[in-house]
């Protein structure tokens, strides 16, 4: 061994990226920063507003000036910085629908400047997955789209914009989570594409991200037999070393998706998956939202040290991982200085992008008159949301439509609670049916069909993937963010 055993805990701590509970750093985090911890990750539970986040990160930086502060801020349906009100930006799928890479870069740069001002230095974004399977339960509007070339050019634009703003980007979920019907939070997805298909589709955006200088890549907990028939990508030397490092030429930090996710933890254990990931070539271990205490961090640190001592994890591999984390930390310090000279974009750049993403489809025999000029009745159908999107983030068009058309009321139904006639409360008023991924939910389709049978003039607003277009007038926002809801309300009322 080239490093004294007593130094191993600090090396092990350097490769962890733990979360914590609270809007101020707990004592254990501050203590660990002095003992080698190189990174932390923030979630919605840590955020009140940008000023509070800035104070939190300043406290962390007082303990370790080069600490990497990560966040999972996709600036779309997945938002942490704006989880209380919903994102003021439209998200990837909307940007892909507009297909203006300069706009995508501007939105990402604006986000980067905002995050940097709050002291965040690494963002687990952009989502570089090609959403080629419309039944995908976890990606959907988080992707730029289903076309690999489109996703690649917007992934590169997003990386450039965010990093110009002073924050390191992290393309995810390598080698591509788009062609699956399984959520890796719950089980291990299997990607059955052959190597030619992977090269043409899934890998194209990651090649573009590497070419754009992305500082980090996040692994997906995915079994891809064409690349490794036995091990998930996060634990595979073939995928992290042979493909990502050697073939794609990536030299930055490889971050795991949350290591407590069931796709890997159920099969290899919380600590076992961590050790295997490091041995395979990962440099940083994300401990996500479900294990957020000192005991979890200590369990992983001690398991890493024990694996080095036993020879299961070569010390040189751990030292290499810690070195890469240190290099990223140095990059973030320099980027914060350079990024401080970059001004934020126009105050409404997110809303401008959301407006451009709205698409209206009218049937040939449509009798619905737009704009609406009187109070409407809004029915919002609420599907179960995946863990990544977070139940605390508000969504819908009822609130902004009510601001523009006073007297508008909103009801929301989930699967077990939908009445026989969901639109009955509208009476003679305009009826607006709001859906998310209508094509994926049998109960929602049935409810919308019943409502349209009773009210053929009802307007359907799709806030998810518009795979199924129905109704006399159909609006697609390509996302359920606050900005997207506002843009839809403006179209409905003609106030845009």
Instruction: Read off the tokens for 230.
Output: 């036995």
Task: Return d(Cα 461, Cα 464) in angstroms, integer.
Answer: 9
Residue in the structure block whose two tokens are 């000023």:
51
| Residue 224 and residue 179 in contact, taking contact as beta carbons nearer than 8 Å | no
CA gap 252, 481 in Å, rounded: 31
- Sequence-distant (6+) residues with CB within 8 A of 146 are 130, 131, 132, 134, 178
Q: DSSP label at 293?
A: S
The whole-angstrom separation of Cα 74 and Cα 72 is: 6
With residue 40 as reference, give the H or E element that holds it. strand 39-42
Residue 182: C-alpha distances to residues 94, 135, 155, 179 (Å): 23, 9, 23, 9
If you search the block for the tokens 């911890």, which residue do you land on?
37
Q: Which residues contact 148 (CB under 8 A, 6 or more apart)?
A: 130, 200, 201, 202, 204, 205
Contact (CB, 8 A) for 308 and 8: yes
Please pick, among 72, 129, 257, 437, the residue that the annotation labels catalytic: 257
Q: Work out whether strand 431-435 and strand 68-71 pair parallel, antiparallel, or are unpaired.
A: unpaired
Active site residue 173: no
User: CA geometry: angle at 168 spanning 167 and 169, to 5°?
Assistant: 115
φ, ψ for residue 20, nearest 5 deg? -155, 170
Q: Which residues contact 197 (CB under 8 A, 6 or more apart)?
A: none
Instruction: Find the catalytic residue in 154, 173, 177, 185.
Output: 185
* Burial class (CB within 10 angstroms; exposed 0-12, middle 13-18, buried 19+) of 411: middle
Residue whose pair of structure tokens reads 């200590």 in the numeric block: 298
CA dihedral 429, 430, 436, 440 (to 10 degrees): 90
Half-sphere exposure of 246 (CA within 13 A, CB side): 8
Strands 253-255 and 285-287: unpaired
Helix (H, G, I), strand (E, B) or coil at 406: coil
Residue 457 appears among annotated catalytic residues: no
Active site residues: 185, 257
């Amino acid at each position: 061994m080239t490093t004294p055993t007593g130094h191993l805990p600090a090396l092990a701590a350097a490769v962890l990226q733990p979360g914590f509970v609270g809007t101020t750093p707990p004592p254990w985090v501050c203590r660990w920063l002095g003992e080698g911890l190189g990174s932390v990750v923030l979630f919605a539970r840590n955020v009140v507003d940008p000023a509070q986040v800035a104070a939190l990160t300043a406290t962390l930086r007082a303990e370790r000036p080069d600490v990497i502060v990560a966040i999972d801020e996709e600036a779309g349906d997945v938002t942490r910085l704006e989880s209380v009100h919903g994102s003021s930006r439209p998200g990837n799928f909307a940007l892909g629908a507009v297909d203006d890479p300069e706009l995508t870069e501007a939105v990402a740069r604006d986000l980067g400047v905002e995050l940097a001002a709050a002291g965040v230095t690494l963002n687990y974004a952009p989502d570089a997955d090609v959403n080629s399977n419309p039944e995908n339960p976890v990606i959907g509007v988080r992707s730029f789209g289903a076309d690999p070339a489109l996703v690649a050019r917007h992934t590169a634009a997003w990386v450039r914009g965010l990093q110009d703003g002073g924050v390191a980007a992290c393309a995810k979920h390598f080698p591509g989570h788009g062609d699956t019907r399984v959520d890796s939070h719950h089980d291990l997805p299997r990607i059955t594409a052959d190597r030619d298909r992977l090269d043409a589709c899934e890998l194209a955006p990651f090649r573009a991200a590497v070419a754009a200088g992305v500082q980090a890549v996040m692994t997906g907990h995915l079994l891809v037999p064409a690349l490794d028939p036995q091990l998930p990508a996060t634990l595979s030397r073939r995928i992290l070393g042979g493909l990502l490092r050697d073939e794609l030429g990536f030299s930055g930090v490889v971050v795991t998706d949350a290591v407590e996710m069931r796709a890997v933890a159920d099969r290899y254990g919380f600590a076992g998956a961590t050790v295997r990931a490091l041995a395979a070539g990962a440099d940083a271990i994300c401990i996500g939202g479900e294990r957020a205490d000192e005991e979890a961090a200590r369990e992983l640190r001690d398991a890493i040290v024990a694996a080095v001592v036993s020879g299961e994890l070569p010390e040189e591999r751990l030292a290499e991982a810690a070195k890469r984390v240190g290099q990223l930390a140095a990059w973030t310090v320099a980027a914060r200085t350079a990024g401080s000279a970059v001004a934020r974009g126009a105050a409404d750049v997110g809303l401008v992008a959301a407006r451009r993403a709205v698409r209206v489809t009218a049937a040939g025999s449509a009798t619905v008159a737009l704009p609406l000029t009187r109070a409407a009745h809004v029915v919002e159908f609420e599907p179960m949301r995946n863990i990544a999107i977070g139940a605390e983030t508000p969504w819908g068009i009822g609130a902004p439509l009510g601001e523009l058309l006073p007297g508008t009321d909103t009801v929301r139904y989930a699967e077990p609670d939908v009445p026989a006639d969901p639109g009955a409360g509208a009476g003679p008023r305009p009826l607006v049916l709001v859906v998310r991924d209508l094509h994926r939910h049998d109960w929602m389709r049935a409810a919308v069909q019943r409502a349209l049978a009773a009210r053929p003039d009802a307007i359907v607003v799709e806030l998810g993937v518009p795979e199924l277009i129905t109704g006399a007038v159909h609006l697609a926002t390509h996302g359920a963010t606050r900005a997207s809801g506002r843009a839809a309300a403006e179209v409905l009322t003609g106030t845009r």
